Amino acid sequence: MDYNGSMTVPMSQPTFWILIALAGQRRHGYEILQETAAASEGAVSLKATTLYAALERLERDGLIQPDGEEIVNGRARRYFRITGRGEAGLADEVAMLEQQARVGRARLGREPLTSLRTGFAV
Amino acid sequence: MTAQRDDRFRRLLRWYPRPWRDAHGSVLLGTMLEQAEHEQREGPTGSETWAAVLHGLGARLDAVFAVRVAITALCCAVVAGSGWLWAATTGSYSPWGSLLTTTVSTGVVPLLGAVSVVASLRHRGFFSDARALALCVIASVAFALNLLTQLAWSLGFDAADAGVASAGLSNFWAPLVLAAWITGTMALALTLEALFARARLNRAGSAVLTGVASVVAAPVVGVMLLSAPTSAILALGAAFLAGTTARTTRREAATPALRPVLRRTFPAGQSVTTRRLIRLMGTLSALAGWFGVAYAVTGSQWSPAATDGTVGMRQGILILLIAGLPLLGALGLVLAGRSGYRRAHVWGPLGAVALSFGATAVAYAGAPDWEAMAPAMLAASAFSALAITWWMAPRLRLARGLARGLALTISVLSGLIYASVCGMLVTPTVPFAVPVVATAIAIWGGRWAAGLPSSRGLSPVVVRATTTIPENENR
């Protein structure tokens, strides 16, 4: 399901990494593709068409906005930047992931003992 | 090689609608070519082509498409309803005419209505491109099977009635029912799963709920949509959804220019004296209305004027219609205090409803002779249609000239549908709603008239800008 900026819908992986790519810097389409692949260490590899479908959705939800166009080597480039709403949504998502990671680490620190007691790991 | 490579990628853009290509085509092409150059490819990969097909076809299911399909559905419903009305009033019957009317009203109309709803919901972000396309295909198959099921049942019924063995399509009734049920379940499951996911339900719970609800609801929805009025109502709902989807899009784009206009058009609510008047009119209408219901049901047992049950019912309905007049006045004052529309767009439709009440009263003067009642009932139905058209047109009105024409088209077609499909059935029951609505107005009407104006459909920025000004004056 697509994230709509309402905080009631989980953010998808492509949405998360696109917003990460745009956080703090405006980028054009191909730069976003490169940045999402690099930042996610290859976990998210978008096609150009998928990227533009996602960008269209994020723009409609007010999380990003176009920020100028230019022609380089005869090819059109459109730049995008994250909006205040997009930054707030991303910050909320990061906070939620951090909380999940904290709980996960705490549980993993204790769980092996429990597993051994119940004989699960034997 | 470079020119050939460019052409291979450029061909992918043909899947997209022209307006999308004009707005985004060169940028998408540039990005695809940069990616291909970096990966040293001479053409699109299979997955890239497939993604372009899905996204391109999905982009065609936008708000404009939803409006066009909804208008087509409304036109079909009007044509089928007019055919049915003509056959009913003239008593003429043709098997092929009947088959055509049934196919259009219970096959084509619900299918177009459903496709329009899917396009609107895709445009609003509820469905992905792939899901919307899959829904259109599966819903088309489901509606076709649903229609064939109905025809098979009808043929089998006629054969049994004539005392002959069933043959042809009627022999496939059971497998058709099963196939329609399965495809209907698939379409509903695809819809509900997307809606439940939006509500952030637990994944397992959502899957169980989706499965159970789809299996149970599919045959219910299928049977309901085999009725012409229900299908027409679906088409009306689809048209309203498509109209508001397009309006939202345009209003978002035009928000800064629209803001001062909206601020000016929102009233500050009704005064204390007017609110008292609203409650008084509602109370009068409620008392007279409940008396009318009691008279219609029991009048023949105690009133010397009601010589039998039919006369008692007729006189009760006349009382209800008279009781409806102060209610319409109270409703007008409430709505004028809450909405930002011109007074003519509030009082005009209510005036048409009053005329419809008058025509209904004239019709019941001739009851129970249907031939004597029919002309006035038709007039009542037409006045109701006028009320619906007038009510919808300014509320669906979009931000620019062309869209205003579309809104008017949808409104006129909606009114015609009411007159041709629903009016003759629904109009006689409307008077019985008078005491219920009047009671609600008597209790809450004053509060509704004083409350903040309705902010539905406006962006948060506009709502903030428009509601902060009159807030203190209202309290």
All structural domains of chain B with their residue ranges: 2-57, 61-249, 270-450
Q: Compare all CA atoms of chain B with the CA of A31 and give the residue at the minimum distance.
A: B31
Chain A nearest-CA distance from B211, in A, is 18
Please state, in angstroms and rounded to a whole number, the distance separating the CA atoms of residues B158 and A39.
69
Chain B nearest-CA distance from A64, in A, is 15
What integer is the mean pLDDT of A72-96? 90
User: What confidence score (pLDDT) does residue B323 get?
Assistant: 94
**Probe site for chain B from A49, A67, A77 (most B CB atoms < 10 A):** A49
**Confidence band, pLDDT 50/70/90 cuts, at residue A16:** very high
Q: Compare all CA atoms of chain A with the CA of B196 and give the residue at the minimum distance.
A: A1
User: What confidence score (pLDDT) does residue A90 get?
Assistant: 92
Q: Do B47 and A47 touch (CB under 8 A)?
A: yes
Q: Do B31 and A52 touch (CB under 8 A)?
A: yes
**Residue of A30, A53, A57 with shortest CB distance to B31:** A30
What are the chain A neighbours of B12 within 8 Å (beta carbons)? 49
Q: Do A53 and B27 touch (CB under 8 A)?
A: no
Chain A nearest-CA distance from B454, in A, is 22
Fold for A13-117, please state it. Answer: Arc Repressor Mutant, subunit A (1.10.10)
Q: Do B31 and A48 touch (CB under 8 A)?
A: yes
User: What confidence score (pLDDT) does residue A46 get?
Assistant: 85
Which positions 199-228 of B are in contact with A (Cβ < 8 Å)?
Answer: 199-200
Q: Is B351 helix (H, G, I), strand (E, B) or coil?
A: helix
Q: How does pLDDT run across B346-384, given as a tens digit for each residue?
A: 899 999 999 999 998 888 887 677 777 878 888 888 888
Q: Please indicate if any CB of chain A lies within 8 Å of the CB of B31.
A: yes
Q: Please indicate if any CB of chain B lies within 8 Å of the CB of A21.
A: no
Give helix B272-302 / helix B434-450 axis angle, nearest 10°: 170
User: What confidence score (pLDDT) does residue A22 get?
Assistant: 93
Of B61, B393, B76, nearest in space to B247 by CA: B393
User: What confidence score (pLDDT) does residue B206 get?
Assistant: 80
Q: Please indicate if any CB of chain B lies within 8 Å of the CB of A27.
A: no
User: What confidence score (pLDDT) does residue B200 get?
Assistant: 65
Q: Do B51 and A47 touch (CB under 8 A)?
A: yes
Q: Compare all CA atoms of chain B with the CA of A61 and give the residue at the minimum distance.
A: B125
Please state, in angstroms and rounded to a whole number, the distance separating the CA atoms of residues B108 and B100.
10
For the cut 80, the answer to whether the pLDDT of residue A106 exceeds it is: yes
Please state, in angstroms and rounded to a whole number, the distance separating the CA atoms of residues B117 and B143.
15
Q: Do B125 and A50 touch (CB under 8 A)?
A: no
- Dihedral through CA B183, CA B185, CA B189, CA B191, nearest 10? 70
Q: Please indicate if any CB of chain B lies within 8 Å of the CB of A77.
A: yes
What integer is the mean pLDDT of A29-58? 88
As to burial, measured by CB atoms within 10 angstroms (0-12 exposed, 13-18 middle, 19+ buried), residue B204 is exposed
- Domain residue ranges of chain A, discontinuous segments joined by +: 13-117
What are the chain A neighbours of B253 within 8 Å (beta carbons)? none
Cis preceding linkage at B368, omega within 30? yes
Please name the helix (run of DSSP H) or strand (run of DSSP E) that holds residue A81, with its range, or none. Answer: strand A75-82
Enter the ipTM.
Answer: 0.79
User: What confidence score (pLDDT) does residue B268 get?
Assistant: 57
Q: Please indicate if any CB of chain B lies within 8 Å of the CB of A1.
A: yes
Which positions 87-106 of A are in contact with B (Cβ < 8 Å)?
Answer: none
Spans of chain B, pLDDT less than 50? 250-266, 398-402, 452-475
Please state, in angstroms and rounded to a whole number, the distance separating the CA atoms of residues A23 and A28.
13
Beta strands A64-72; A75-82: pairing state: antiparallel
**Confidence band, pLDDT 50/70/90 cuts, at residue A122:** very low
Chain B nearest-CA distance from A118, in A, is 27
What are the chain A neighbours of B6 within 8 Å (beta carbons)? none
**Residue of B27, B47, B54 with shortest CB distance to A76:** B27
What are the chain B neighbours of A14 within 8 Å (beta carbons)? none
Of B170, B281, B236, nearest in space to B417 by CA: B236
Please state, in angstroms and rounded to a whole number, the distance separating the CA atoms of residues B80 and B417.
9
